[in-house]
Amino acid sequence: MNNSRIKITEEKLLSDNWYVLKKYTFDYLKQNGSWQTQSREAYDRGNGATILLYNKETNSVILTRQFRLPTYVNGNQTGMLMEACAGLLDKDNPEECIRRETEEETGYKVSEVRKIFEAYMSPGSVTEKLYFFVAEYTKNMKVTEGGGVEEEEDIEVHEIPFKNALKMMENGEISDGKTIMLLQYAQIHQLLA
Protein backbone atom coordinates (compact mmCIF):
# COMPACT_ATOMS: atom_id res chain seq x y z
CA MET A 1 0.00 0.00 0.00
CA ASN A 2 2.14 2.79 -1.33
CA ASN A 3 0.03 5.23 -3.35
CA SER A 4 1.04 8.87 -2.88
CA ARG A 5 -2.51 9.94 -3.81
CA ILE A 6 -3.98 8.19 -0.74
CA LYS A 7 -3.43 9.13 2.90
CA ILE A 8 -5.39 7.03 5.37
CA THR A 9 -6.19 9.24 8.34
CA GLU A 10 -8.38 6.89 10.42
CA GLU A 11 -9.05 3.15 10.56
CA LYS A 12 -11.95 2.06 12.78
CA LEU A 13 -12.95 -1.54 13.51
CA LEU A 14 -16.73 -1.90 13.13
CA SER A 15 -17.04 -5.68 13.49
CA ASP A 16 -14.93 -8.80 13.73
CA ASN A 17 -17.81 -11.18 14.42
CA TRP A 18 -17.65 -13.30 11.25
CA TYR A 19 -14.87 -11.59 9.31
CA VAL A 20 -13.51 -8.05 9.65
CA LEU A 21 -15.44 -4.89 8.77
CA LYS A 22 -13.52 -1.61 9.05
CA LYS A 23 -14.32 2.02 8.28
CA TYR A 24 -11.52 4.00 6.67
CA THR A 25 -11.30 7.77 6.46
CA PHE A 26 -8.74 8.95 3.94
CA ASP A 27 -7.59 11.91 1.92
CA TYR A 28 -7.60 11.33 -1.83
CA LEU A 29 -5.67 13.46 -4.35
CA LYS A 30 -8.03 13.96 -7.28
CA GLN A 31 -6.90 14.30 -10.91
CA ASN A 32 -7.49 18.07 -10.77
CA GLY A 33 -4.89 18.38 -7.99
CA SER A 34 -7.29 18.97 -5.10
CA TRP A 35 -7.48 16.77 -2.00
CA GLN A 36 -10.81 15.34 -0.91
CA THR A 37 -11.63 13.55 2.36
CA GLN A 38 -13.67 10.38 1.91
CA SER A 39 -14.93 7.52 4.10
CA ARG A 40 -15.51 3.94 3.03
CA GLU A 41 -16.21 0.63 4.73
CA ALA A 42 -14.25 -2.45 3.65
CA TYR A 43 -15.16 -6.03 4.49
CA ASP A 44 -12.13 -8.33 4.75
CA ARG A 45 -12.96 -12.02 4.57
CA GLY A 46 -9.63 -13.11 3.11
CA ASN A 47 -8.88 -14.25 -0.43
CA GLY A 48 -10.38 -17.31 -2.06
CA ALA A 49 -10.19 -19.74 -4.94
CA THR A 50 -12.81 -21.24 -7.26
CA ILE A 51 -12.79 -24.00 -9.85
CA LEU A 52 -14.83 -25.33 -12.73
CA LEU A 53 -14.60 -29.11 -12.98
CA TYR A 54 -15.35 -30.33 -16.50
CA ASN A 55 -15.51 -33.72 -18.21
CA LYS A 56 -14.78 -33.83 -21.95
CA GLU A 57 -16.19 -37.35 -22.39
CA THR A 58 -19.61 -36.52 -20.96
CA ASN A 59 -19.58 -32.77 -21.81
CA SER A 60 -20.58 -32.02 -18.24
CA VAL A 61 -19.53 -29.82 -15.33
CA ILE A 62 -19.69 -30.25 -11.57
CA LEU A 63 -21.48 -27.48 -9.69
CA THR A 64 -22.61 -27.20 -6.09
CA ARG A 65 -25.85 -25.88 -4.62
CA GLN A 66 -26.20 -24.44 -1.14
CA PHE A 67 -28.07 -21.87 0.93
CA ARG A 68 -26.60 -18.35 0.80
CA LEU A 69 -28.21 -15.97 3.31
CA PRO A 70 -27.18 -12.71 1.55
CA THR A 71 -29.00 -13.84 -1.62
CA TYR A 72 -32.07 -14.76 0.43
CA VAL A 73 -32.30 -11.35 2.11
CA ASN A 74 -31.83 -9.73 -1.32
CA GLY A 75 -34.82 -11.40 -2.95
CA ASN A 76 -33.74 -14.96 -3.85
CA GLN A 77 -36.90 -16.74 -2.65
CA THR A 78 -35.15 -19.95 -1.59
CA GLY A 79 -31.68 -18.59 -0.89
CA MET A 80 -30.26 -21.60 -2.75
CA LEU A 81 -27.45 -20.83 -5.18
CA MET A 82 -25.97 -23.03 -7.90
CA GLU A 83 -22.27 -22.28 -8.06
CA ALA A 84 -18.78 -23.47 -8.81
CA CYS A 85 -16.83 -25.03 -5.96
CA ALA A 86 -14.94 -22.37 -3.98
CA GLY A 87 -13.36 -21.66 -0.63
CA LEU A 88 -11.23 -19.30 1.37
CA LEU A 89 -7.46 -19.69 1.19
CA ASP A 90 -7.00 -19.64 4.95
CA LYS A 91 -3.23 -20.20 5.19
CA ASP A 92 -2.91 -22.23 1.96
CA ASN A 93 -1.72 -21.04 -1.41
CA PRO A 94 -4.52 -20.85 -4.03
CA GLU A 95 -3.68 -24.19 -5.68
CA GLU A 96 -3.56 -26.11 -2.36
CA CYS A 97 -6.79 -24.43 -1.30
CA ILE A 98 -8.73 -25.34 -4.42
CA ARG A 99 -7.56 -28.95 -4.36
CA ARG A 100 -8.73 -29.24 -0.71
CA GLU A 101 -12.04 -27.47 -1.35
CA THR A 102 -12.74 -29.57 -4.45
CA GLU A 103 -12.40 -32.80 -2.51
CA GLU A 104 -14.34 -31.53 0.53
CA GLU A 105 -17.23 -29.98 -1.42
CA THR A 106 -17.55 -32.19 -4.50
CA GLY A 107 -15.88 -35.43 -3.47
CA TYR A 108 -13.53 -35.36 -6.48
CA LYS A 109 -9.77 -35.60 -5.96
CA VAL A 110 -8.27 -33.75 -8.92
CA SER A 111 -4.61 -34.05 -9.78
CA GLU A 112 -4.13 -31.34 -12.41
CA VAL A 113 -5.56 -27.86 -11.83
CA ARG A 114 -4.87 -24.89 -14.08
CA LYS A 115 -5.06 -21.28 -12.92
CA ILE A 116 -6.76 -19.11 -15.54
CA PHE A 117 -6.97 -15.67 -13.90
CA GLU A 118 -7.52 -13.62 -10.72
CA ALA A 119 -10.29 -11.11 -10.06
CA TYR A 120 -11.68 -8.83 -7.36
CA MET A 121 -15.35 -9.75 -7.16
CA SER A 122 -16.83 -6.70 -5.41
CA PRO A 123 -14.02 -4.11 -5.16
CA GLY A 124 -16.28 -1.31 -3.97
CA SER A 125 -16.71 -2.90 -0.55
CA VAL A 126 -14.98 -6.29 -0.24
CA THR A 127 -11.19 -6.85 -0.17
CA GLU A 128 -11.39 -10.46 -1.45
CA LYS A 129 -9.46 -11.52 -4.54
CA LEU A 130 -10.49 -14.81 -6.15
CA TYR A 131 -8.11 -17.15 -7.95
CA PHE A 132 -9.91 -18.96 -10.79
CA PHE A 133 -9.03 -22.52 -11.82
CA VAL A 134 -10.28 -25.18 -14.21
CA ALA A 135 -9.65 -28.93 -14.07
CA GLU A 136 -10.77 -32.01 -15.91
CA TYR A 137 -12.46 -34.72 -13.88
CA THR A 138 -13.38 -38.32 -14.54
CA LYS A 139 -15.67 -40.69 -12.67
CA ASN A 140 -12.72 -42.53 -11.11
CA MET A 141 -11.59 -39.32 -9.36
CA LYS A 142 -14.68 -39.47 -7.11
CA VAL A 143 -13.36 -40.46 -3.66
CA THR A 144 -16.18 -39.30 -1.34
CA GLU A 145 -19.74 -38.03 -1.59
CA GLY A 146 -18.60 -34.44 -1.00
CA GLY A 147 -21.01 -32.01 0.64
CA GLY A 148 -18.45 -30.22 2.81
CA VAL A 149 -16.69 -31.12 6.02
CA GLU A 150 -17.66 -28.22 8.26
CA GLU A 151 -20.72 -28.75 10.45
CA GLU A 152 -22.55 -25.75 8.94
CA GLU A 153 -22.02 -26.92 5.35
CA ASP A 154 -24.90 -28.63 3.57
CA ILE A 155 -23.70 -28.74 -0.03
CA GLU A 156 -25.44 -30.56 -2.88
CA VAL A 157 -23.21 -31.81 -5.71
CA HIS A 158 -24.62 -31.68 -9.25
CA GLU A 159 -23.22 -33.04 -12.49
CA ILE A 160 -24.80 -30.94 -15.24
CA PRO A 161 -24.47 -31.15 -19.02
CA PHE A 162 -22.47 -28.12 -20.13
CA LYS A 163 -25.19 -26.95 -22.55
CA ASN A 164 -27.73 -27.09 -19.71
CA ALA A 165 -25.41 -25.07 -17.45
CA LEU A 166 -25.15 -22.39 -20.16
CA LYS A 167 -28.97 -22.30 -20.45
CA MET A 168 -29.26 -22.05 -16.65
CA MET A 169 -26.89 -19.09 -16.77
CA GLU A 170 -28.94 -17.41 -19.51
CA ASN A 171 -32.29 -17.91 -17.76
CA GLY A 172 -31.03 -16.83 -14.33
CA GLU A 173 -30.98 -20.23 -12.61
CA ILE A 174 -27.23 -19.67 -12.28
CA SER A 175 -26.70 -16.13 -11.00
CA ASP A 176 -23.42 -16.46 -9.12
CA GLY A 177 -20.74 -14.18 -10.61
CA LYS A 178 -17.75 -16.51 -10.27
CA THR A 179 -19.70 -19.39 -11.81
CA ILE A 180 -20.83 -17.27 -14.75
CA MET A 181 -17.23 -16.19 -15.34
CA LEU A 182 -16.01 -19.79 -15.30
CA LEU A 183 -18.77 -21.03 -17.61
CA GLN A 184 -18.11 -18.21 -20.04
CA TYR A 185 -14.38 -18.99 -19.94
CA ALA A 186 -15.14 -22.63 -20.75
CA GLN A 187 -17.39 -21.55 -23.61
CA ILE A 188 -14.94 -18.99 -25.07
CA HIS A 189 -11.99 -21.39 -24.83
CA GLN A 190 -14.06 -24.36 -26.06
CA LEU A 191 -13.18 -26.61 -23.14
CA LEU A 192 -16.38 -28.55 -23.87
CA ALA A 193 -18.60 -29.04 -26.91
Pairing relationship of beta strands 156-161 and 60-67 according to DSSP bridges: antiparallel
105 annotated ligand-binding residue: yes
86 annotated ligand-binding residue: yes
- Beta-carbon contacts of 144 under 8 Å, excluding residues fewer than 6 positions away, are 103, 107
Phi, psi dihedrals of residue 154, rounded to the nearest 5°: -140, 80
CA angle (38 as vertex; 32, 42 as ends), nearest 5:
125
Contact 160, 60 (CB under 8 A): yes
42 annotated ligand-binding residue: no
Torsion (CA) 182, 93, 156, 54 in degrees, nearest 10? 40
173 annotated ligand-binding residue: no
What residues are designated binding site for Mg(2+)?
Answer: 86, 101, 105, 153
What residues are designated binding site?
Answer: 86, 101, 105, 153
